């Protein structure tokens, strides 16, 4: 007899029969998206993925939800010319969102959260477009699409500078808490930011360092506080939008 998986984790560690039993209880299913993307000279390419998977796991614990195997690629326009960035097209991201949500619905799932650690505008638009197409085909399906940074950036202008962003104080703090072994010793400062509202053929020219903010101010305890805030706010959204009660 094979050992059964204990604790939260991607549901592909379940057997087919175990998955079928779990789905009969109509759980929330969280799908973590991330990216393989440059994050300055100090953070790893997996930064977005690591954060989304951590938050997805914590939310799943709170509601006895299921977590999908993560999608660790995204659409990364402004960082695509940095070494190591692997960008998908927007159409691919849209198709992934549509196919995954549709297949979950086919399996009897009726509550899905697409949670992405990568928050690029084109990436987010592709996820929402794919999810919308799936919901239109499955009207009883409830789907939430957001980035954990939609919540984390609530703290800008309060506990963190208003202009903090990619690979800055907030993101570096979160990685110092989550994966300090992957955070480099350098602490760059950057003010890279494209012109507001502009559609640009070459957005990467506005990202010479790939950093928005001052990572020298980052600290692991700040990262813990940020993640605790994100999880608490996400749990509220789950309760409100999916009508689920927190269990843990």
How does pLDDT run across 140-181, given as a tens digit for each residue?
999 999 999 999 999 999 999 999 999 999 999 999 999 999
Q: To which H or E segment does residue 115 belong?
A: strand 111-116
Domain span at residue 89? 11-241
Assess if residue 6 is contained within a domain. no
Q: Is residue 169 part of a domain?
A: yes
1 falls within a domain: no
C-beta of residue 66 within 8 angstroms of C-beta of residue 26: no
Is the per-residue pLDDT at 1 higher than 50? no
Please enumerate in sequence order all residues whose Cβ is within 8 A of that of 133, keeping only pairs 6 or more positions apart, or say none: 94, 98
Q: How many domains does the chain have?
A: 1
- Burial (Cβ within 10 Å: 0-12, 13-18, ≥19) of residue 9: middle
* Average pLDDT rounded to a whole number, residues 11-37: 97
CB proximity list for 173: less than 8 A, separation 6 or greater: 218, 219, 220, 222, 223, 226
* Mean predicted confidence (pLDDT) in 57-79: 96
Q: Would you state the pLDDT for residue 6?
A: 46
Q: Tell me if 165 is assigned to some domain.
A: yes
In a domain? residue 197: yes
Q: Does 47 reside within a domain?
A: yes
Domain contains 248: no
Q: Tens digits of per-residue pLDDT, 86-102?
A: 999 999 999 999 999 99
Mean pLDDT of the chain: 94
CATH number of the domain within which 97 lies: 3.40.50.10310
Is the pLDDT score of 232 beyond 60? yes
Pairing of strands 28-33, 66-67: parallel
In a 3-state reduction of DSSP, which class is residue 248?
A: coil
Please indicate, yes or no, if residue 58 is contained in any of the structural domains.
Answer: yes
Query: Above 70 in pLDDT, residue 27?
Result: yes
Q: pLDDT value at position 8? A: 61
* Per-residue pLDDT at 5 exceeds 70: no
């Amino acid at each position: 007899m094979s050992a059964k998986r204990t604790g939260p984790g991607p549901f592909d560690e379940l057997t087919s029969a175990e998955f079928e039993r779990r789905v009969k209880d109509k759980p929330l299913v969280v799908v973590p998206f991330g990216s393989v993307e440059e994050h300055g000279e100090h953070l790893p390419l997996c930064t977005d993925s690591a954060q989304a998977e951590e938050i997805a796991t914590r939310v799943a614990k709170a509601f006895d939800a299921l977590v999908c195997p993560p999608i660790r690629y995204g659409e990364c326009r402004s960082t695509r010319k940095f070494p190591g960035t692997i960008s998908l097209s927007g159409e691919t991201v849209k198709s992934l969102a549509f196919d995954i949500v549709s297949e979950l619905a086919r399996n009897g799932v009726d509550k899905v959260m697409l949670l992405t650690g990568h928050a690029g505008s084109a990436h987010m638009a592709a996820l929402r477009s794919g999810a919308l197409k799936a919901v239109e085909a499955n009207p009883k399906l409830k789907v939430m699409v957001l980035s954990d940074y939609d919540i984390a950036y609530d703290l800008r202008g309060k506990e963190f500078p208003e202009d903090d962003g990619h690979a800055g104080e907030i993101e570096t703090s979160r990685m110092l808490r989550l994966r300090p072994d992957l955070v480099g010793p350098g602490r760059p400062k950057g003010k890279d930011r494209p012109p507001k509202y502009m559609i640009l053929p070459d957005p990467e020219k506005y990202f010479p360092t790939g950093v928005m903010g001052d990572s020298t101010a980052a600290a692991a305890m700040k990262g813990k506080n940020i993640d605790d805030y994100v999880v608490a706010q996400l749990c509220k959204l789950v309760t409100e939008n999916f009508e689920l009660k927190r269990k843990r």
